[in-house]
Amino acid sequence: MQTPISSHNNESTGLVLSACGSESTEAPAAAPPADSMTDTVTDAMTDTMTDAVEDVTEQVGAGMAEATGAVEGIVGEANDAMDVVSEPAEGQPAAGEGDPCSLSIEAGDTIAFSTDAMSVPSSCADVTVTLTHTGTMPKQSMGHNWVLLPETAIQEIGIAAARAGLNNNCVPDDPRIVASTEVVGGGESTSVTFSLDALDDGTTYGFACTFPGHWAVMKGTFTVSG
Ligand code: ZN
């Protein structure tokens, strides 16, 4: 009696197994639609994401174009401002002579310099100042020189310079004088090179022509920037 039962059990187990088997064989059959759905979803997502990325890229691109435009505008304004600032110093943005450590200044047959403000960057190892006499009068009557000195000492040294005489280029022996050129007359040019190390940090410097009587008018500020 037990054997048929067990065989019945076996049969039912076999049926169950076959049922499971048939289900399991259907599963792969259902897989292709799942794959195609996945493909469809993937395609859709890819398309959507690609579009979105393209949109974002376009927006970022437009944003960057605007930002670039804004930066160019600012740079342009800065350059314009620098042009204006540099004009009195003469020469910086002009083609060719772009050395900010080399300054030029002029004086003619009148008691006047071409500028009353000179400036150099602190990064200059050496500074060269060139003075050109654009007039025609001889140095005995309308000589000019360029002297770098503390601004507060211009009057005192200017007065002392009158006694120094033309043979000394109208430069008195004074340790406060940082640099000085010789006296030049009409059509002549001269220059002097000095190190910024010679300038004290806490002192305000200026320049002057120490030809007798000129210092009161022919003077200006000399600043080291940066
Ligand atoms: Zn002078």
Total tally of structural domains belonging to the chain: 2
Helix, strand, coil share of the chain (percent; to 5): 50, 20, 30
152 C-alpha to ligand 1 centroid (Å): 19
Asked which of 87, 119, 149 is the last residue of a domain, the reply is 87
- Residue 218 Cα, ligand 1 centroid: separation in angstroms? 6
pTM over 0.75: no
Residue 3, domain member (yes or no): no
Residue 49 covered by a domain: yes
Domain extent, residue 153, equals 102-225
Q: Tell me 184's DSSP state.
A: B
Per-residue pLDDT of the chain (226 residues; tens, 9 = 90+): 444 444 444 444 434 443 333 344 444 444 444 454 445 444 544 454 545 445 544 554 444 445 444 445 444 454 444 444 444 444 334 434 689 999 999 999 999 999 999 999 999 989 999 999 999 999 999 999 999 999 999 999 999 999 999 999 999 999 999 999 999 999 999 999 999 999 998 999 999 999 999 999 999 999 999 8
- Do residue 50 and residue 111 come from a single domain? no
Strand 126-133 vs strand 219-225: parallel, antiparallel, or unpaired? unpaired
60 and 110 fall within a common domain: no
Q: Is residue 32 part of a domain?
A: no
Tell me, yes or no, whether 17 lies in a domain: no
CA 133 to chain centre: 34
Residue 19 counted as domain residue: no
| CA 217 to centroid of ligand 1, rounded, Å | 9
Q: Is residue 166 part of a domain?
A: yes
CA of 123 from ligand 1 middle (Å) equals 30
- Residue 108 CA, ligand 1 centroid: distance in Å: 9
